[in-house]
Structure 1
């Protein structure tokens, strides 16, 4: 098939923004022709990546993909109007690029976060009759209203408008795929027909996230050798609630054999560093964002990996991409999370779950895991890897996607 893959985020952006590239390249490897419609890279820091400048249009041929970049207002801060400007400028500009630069395609696949990414697909449908599939990564308007960006009076007005927009995209989409079971339940409540819904979880880039044998060398390379390492690697955002790790570290400041390591960056980075400095915590280590191709070694440097999301109704129906990546790497987990993701961690036997936001429970989980033998920890990581292979492996996910993209648009059950 000739496919338009529409995503505001794309390579070389990091973290969850790397997912669209993983999926698009996998489709190319299956023999499809893929045209990516995206913006200019600036996630997660809201700063344009080196080598890029915003222009009216840019075309790249990379890894068998044809990448079409549309201009957008570069921003990723915590102010609602500025973030809206980022989303809406991409939606408008990408629609123009879609109609003027994309060749005719059989179908469009929309990496739906933010929900406004569907606007170019709607434009293609109106002008050319191109069918599109929504792959819901974040459920809107829930994501916006739970973010805290908006005052309560403004949130109600915005929520009503977004509900109307999202309901319209669900009706006009040929199919709606969700990345967590809880999302399907919510969309059924909102009137999306069951025959139009499929569960298509994300998978990890299996070339980058894999078990690493020489963990001692990995710890040395990251400068965290000599201590039991509780690691978070990813975006430092408000939803990740990383204050919990800092407070847990404060509780365990007497345990010189346990270190809390935060790898990455984001809008909360400065505030987290200030909190660590104010508490004079020597057991918290910050490591800058690492190259994507080194992520297997980075995760291997952690004795246990933390998955953390603030407990909101929305997060209970979310499987963050970091979950699959960590399980693919075969690392044990502490899940400071509830809902779908917590069930995955517990049922897999790959780690422990604590109440989101509870620093006392996180500290206790860190001590409990630090008391395990290396063999016991390895067994926990191996269980996580087995669950990944059985549930989220790339080949099975691609077969689901291809079944949906085919002209018949088959429903794929969980």
Structure 2
């Protein structure tokens, strides 16, 4: 059964969004489905390399829409994007003859998919990974409660009412939609997961260990995108407290993004240049070897609607690798982490509380070992991609025409 997926962007771009997508497609293929993908003009806005109208990546077919120019005026660029995506999606759907359309957030993908589904009399699944209006708040393009924010929220709710089924990333998003009047029976969580073959205890990456000067050190680490809501500035300030009493401990921040320059300036102002390593982004296939060299993973997200509602992927990877983690007590973390059992939580935004949790774990090898074993056992029992994606069979069977 052919499923036509509509994405914001995809591989070869690297992001949590693209890696989740690739894992969903792999899992669907194992379930007997045939995923085909269309990406929006957002893909070409971010991808600077060569591309073609139709590409094969890791055995999956990707159709590209091509970039659309930015235009002045409120929502004009978004409107142009949706028109272009609707045309391309209609063309691909006529060619590929899918049984179901499956649009993934943001809502800019869902509206064109809704139009094409109506034109071709196809059922539509809308899968939400985060609400577009909340992501826009973090990016600084709107404010919570603004006219644009409220309008976007109303559009998102309308699409959920008209879609045949709504898949969501986690229970926080489901509860929010139910509060908007979307029937719970119409909403199915497709939780994040891990592939145990890709993420399991392994030797440290010796090349990085040597070039980054981490041999013989205790390492507190973060791997991911440097979004403002990740709280990496809080982590640096908390580490400054820990570093005073831990001369052999270093902080490793792997990745990049909007906070990179600000973080480097903060690190320099605190006199931590020789204690904090920021190597930039690394190839995805080398990530497990970097996890292996880290003693404690830190996830200090600030509290905002996005972090309270949405669960991240990285803590699951850390657990699968047999690593202990410290995370802020936002809703997205509490949905994944049992405090004191599979990880350690601290009060979001509290610099001192984070420093205390880090110090506690650095001082207690036995506690770290217990948390590592319990976290690894839990994620392998409940959050492999094979387990979390099995619900697609029920979703598709219920709406197939």
TM-score by length of 1: 0.86
CA distance in 2, matches of 1:278, 1:34: 50
> Which of 350, 366, 386 is matched with 1:358 structurally?
350
Residue 47 of structure 2 is aligned to residue 48 of structure 1: yes
Q: Is the Cα contact below 8 Å between 2:142 and 2:149 reproduced in 1?
A: no
CA distance in 2, matches of 1:9, 1:260: 31
Q: Is the Cα contact below 8 Å between 1:310 and 1:357 reproduced in 2?
A: yes
Match of 2:23? 22
Match of 2:67? 72
Structure 1 stretches of 5 or more lacking a match?
Answer: 76-80, 410-414
- Secondary structure in structure 1 of the residue aligned to 2:84: helix
Q: In the TM superposition, what is the alpha-carbon distance from 1:395 to its structure 2 partner?
A: 1.5
Q: 1:265 to 1:142 in 2, by over 3 A?
A: closer
- Secondary structure in structure 1 of the residue aligned to 2:360: helix
Q: Is the Cα contact below 8 Å between 1:348 and 1:387 reproduced in 2?
A: no
CA distance in 2, matches of 1:222, 1:403: 48
> Which of 253, 257, 264 is matched with 1:266 structurally?
257
CA distance in 1, matches of 2:185, 2:156: 18
Match of 1:191? 181
Residue 104 of structure 2 is aligned to residue 111 of structure 1: yes
Match of 2:382? 391
Q: In the TM superposition, what is the alpha-carbon distance from 1:295 to its structure 2 partner?
A: 1.2
> Deviations 1:360-414 (Å, cap 9, x if unpaired)?
11211111111122x54333222111111222112222211222122447xxxxx
CA distance in 1, matches of 2:196, 2:9: 20
Q: Is the Cα contact below 8 Å between 1:350 and 1:380 reproduced in 2?
A: yes
CA distance in 1, matches of 2:138, 2:171: 19
- Secondary structure in structure 1 of the residue aligned to 2:9: coil
Q: 1:237 to 1:315 in 2, by over 3 A?
A: same
Q: 1:128 to 1:41 in 2, by over 3 A?
A: closer
Question: Map of 1:8-157 to 2, 5 A cutoff?
Answer: 8-17=8-17, 18-39=19-40, 47-49=46-48, 51-52=49-50, 58-72=53-67, 90-102=81-93, 103-112=96-105, 114-145=106-137, 147-150=139-142, 156-157=146-147
Q: Is the Cα contact below 8 Å between 1:4 and 1:108 reproduced in 2?
A: yes
Q: 1:208 to 1:86 in 2, by over 3 A?
A: farther
CA distance in 2, matches of 1:246, 1:85: 39
> Which of 115, 129, 151 is matched with 1:161 structurally?
151
Q: 1:135 to 1:82 in 2, by over 3 A?
A: farther
Question: Map of 1:176-325 to 2, 5 A cutoff?
Answer: 176-213=166-203, 219-220=209-210, 222-254=212-244, 255-281=246-272, 282-325=274-317
- Greater shift, 164-173 or 197-206, is seen at 197-206
Q: Is the Cα contact below 8 Å between 2:165 and 2:395 reproduced in 1?
A: yes
Q: Is the Cα contact below 8 Å between 1:333 and 1:345 reproduced in 2?
A: no
Q: Is the Cα contact below 8 Å between 1:175 and 1:404 reproduced in 2?
A: yes
Q: 1:92 to 1:221 in 2, by over 3 A?
A: farther
- Secondary structure in structure 1 of the residue aligned to 2:243: coil
Q: Is the Cα contact below 8 Å between 1:5 and 1:24 reproduced in 2?
A: no
CA distance in 1, matches of 2:91, 2:247: 60
Q: 1:271 to 1:296 in 2, by over 3 A?
A: same
The alignment yields a C-alpha RMSD, in angstroms, of 2.7
> Deviations 1:129-148 (Å, cap 9, x if unpaired)?
22111221102434334654
TM-score by length of 2: 0.89
Question: Map of 1:331-370 to 2, 5 A cutoff?
Answer: 331-346=323-338, 349-370=341-362
Residue 395 of structure 2 is aligned to residue 400 of structure 1: no
CA distance in 2, matches of 1:229, 1:252: 12
Structure 2 stretches of 5 or more lacking a match?
Answer: none
CA distance in 2, matches of 1:274, 1:120: 43
Q: How many pairs align?
A: 394
Q: Is the Cα contact below 8 Å between 2:204 and 2:291 reproduced in 1?
A: no
> Deviations 1:40-89 (Å, cap 9, x if unpaired)?
7869xx7534x325xxx6111223311111223599xxxxx899777655
Q: Is the Cα contact below 8 Å between 1:249 and 1:283 reproduced in 2?
A: no
- Secondary structure in structure 1 of the residue aligned to 2:390: helix
